[in-house]
Amino acid sequence: MVGEFEALGDVVTGAVVGRAVEPKAGEGDDGHTHEKNCLNCGTELTGNYCHACGQHAHVHRTLSAFFHDFLHGVLHFEGKIWRTLPLLAWKPGELTRRYVDGQRASFVSPIALFLFCVFLMFAAVSMLGGVGEFSPEAKKDIASELAKDNQKLAVLEQRRAGATGPVAAKLDEKITDQKAEIAAVEAVSRGEISSKAIDIDPSGLAPSLSDAVKKARKNPELVAYKLKTNAYKFSWLIIPLSVPFVWLLFPFSRRYRLYDHTVFVTYSLCFMTLLVVIGVIFQSISLTALAGFLWLIPPFHMYRQLKGAYGLSRWGAIWRATLLTMFALIVISMFAALLVGMGTLE
């Protein structure tokens, strides 16, 4: 997660520099501007917001206002978050239906909330999700892998010493990739992931994915590390993977469209990722039993969301929630298989 934190730091740094060089036209002693024309487009102001471009009529140039803008920009941290999270937790169906029906200004959008929740989940897993010791066999495999990678790097660097032009550029690219591979193996050797992280049945998968999974099962530690690093970047894939399964619960329905299902899926995934964050926190403070109890919540949450979002009867929501729970396991397996394929296919 170092890259993400660095990117976040760059945003803050850039904003600070921008504030430092921003002109101070119309600024009062209280740090608030009192202009009569919009500072963004020059339109004459008639209210609290510019009717032409939408910018707030008076810019607050104070330190507290800056951090408010930062939190709002990164986390949508205003009244929206406090209206969205309680409904997401206890009345997810109402949240989904109200957003689909057009009540957008009151809530954080599903995709914005999803991106933040995924970031938060992987940050929590990276910082708090400790793992156990590798077996002696696994440690031996890691050492062997590291030795082979170092040998490959030495050969590439030797070839690069006498290369020029396009050949040198291609070798530079291979050397960079090889160093990244070594860094991954070294990270594995430090125990950042579990030796049991890869447990996917390759039968029934496409030939290319099946071969990738078989390779992963032979060297699970390294591939699991790649899976962990790729999962954040490709987490959005879970949404298109899930939507067809939700559609199957309402086949050929003219009342509910793919858009409704996409909003439903995205808000549901937001809740599940936050549940993972809570579970990681419980695990980190040795509340393992309580963390295990969290596994009982997703089916109940799906039931409530289905019932409220689609106006279902109790029985209609129960059988659909049962199917959706099974579908969710299928989607997770498909997502893991795709990540393993990305991490092992050269």
DSSP annotation string for 151-220: HHHHHHHHHHHT--HHHHHHHHHHHHHHHHHHHHHHHHHTT-S-TT------TTS-HHHHHHHHHHHHSH
Would you state the pLDDT for residue 271?
96
- What is the pLDDT of the chain when averaged over all its residues? 76
Q: Is 285 helix (H, G, I), strand (E, B) or coil?
A: coil
Structure tokens at 78: 């205003």
Q: Which whole number is the average pLDDT over 8-25?
A: 43
CA distance 48 to 28: 17
CA distance 33 to 20: 16
Structure tokens at 254: 């003219």
Would you state the pLDDT for residue 192?
53
Q: Which whole number is the average pLDDT over 11-35?
A: 47
Beta bridge partners of 49: 56
Judged by average pLDDT, the poorest of 74-83, 193-202, 243-252, 326-335 is 193-202
Provide DSSP, 76-134.
-TTHHHHHHHHHHHH-HHHHHHHHHTT--TTS--HHHHHHHHHHHHHHHHHHH----PP
Q: Which residue has the higher pLDDT, 90 or 61?
A: 90
Whole-structure pTM value: 0.61
Q: Which residue has the tokens 């202009």?
A: 35
Domain parsing of the chain, residue ranges: 11-75, 76-132+195-346, 135-190
Estimate to the nearest angstrom the gap between the alpha carbon of 9 and the chain centroid: 18
Structure tokens at 330: 């299928």
Residue 310 has pLDDT above 80, yes or no: yes
Q: Which whole number is the average pLDDT over 105-120?
A: 89
What is the number of alpha carbons within 13 Å of residue 33 lying toward its C-beta? 20
Could you tell me which of 74, 75, 341 has the C-alpha nearest to residue 217?
341
Angle between helices 2-21 and 63-75 (to 10 degrees): 140
Residue 88 has pLDDT above 90, yes or no: yes
Residue 44 has pLDDT above 70, yes or no: yes
Q: Rounded to whole angstroms, what are the CA distances from 167 to 150, 153, 161, 162, 173? A: 21, 16, 11, 10, 10
Residue 46 has pLDDT above 60, yes or no: yes
Would you state the pLDDT for residue 179?
83
Q: What are phi and psi of 166, to 5 degrees?
A: -60, -35
Would you state the pLDDT for residue 125?
78
Residue 161 has pLDDT above 80, yes or no: yes
Angle between helices 110-128 and 2-21 (to 10 degrees): 120
Q: Is 234 helix (H, G, I), strand (E, B) or coil?
A: coil
* pLDDT tens column, 245-287: 999 999 888 889 999 999 999 999 999 999 999 998 988 888 8
Q: Which whole number is the average pLDDT over 96-103?
A: 94
Beta bridge partners of 56: 49
**Calculated CA dihedral for residues 308, 309, 312, 315, nearest 10 degrees:** -70
Q: Which whole number is the average pLDDT over 181-189?
A: 69
**CB 65 within 8 Å of CB 19:** no
Residue 5 has pLDDT above 60, yes or no: no
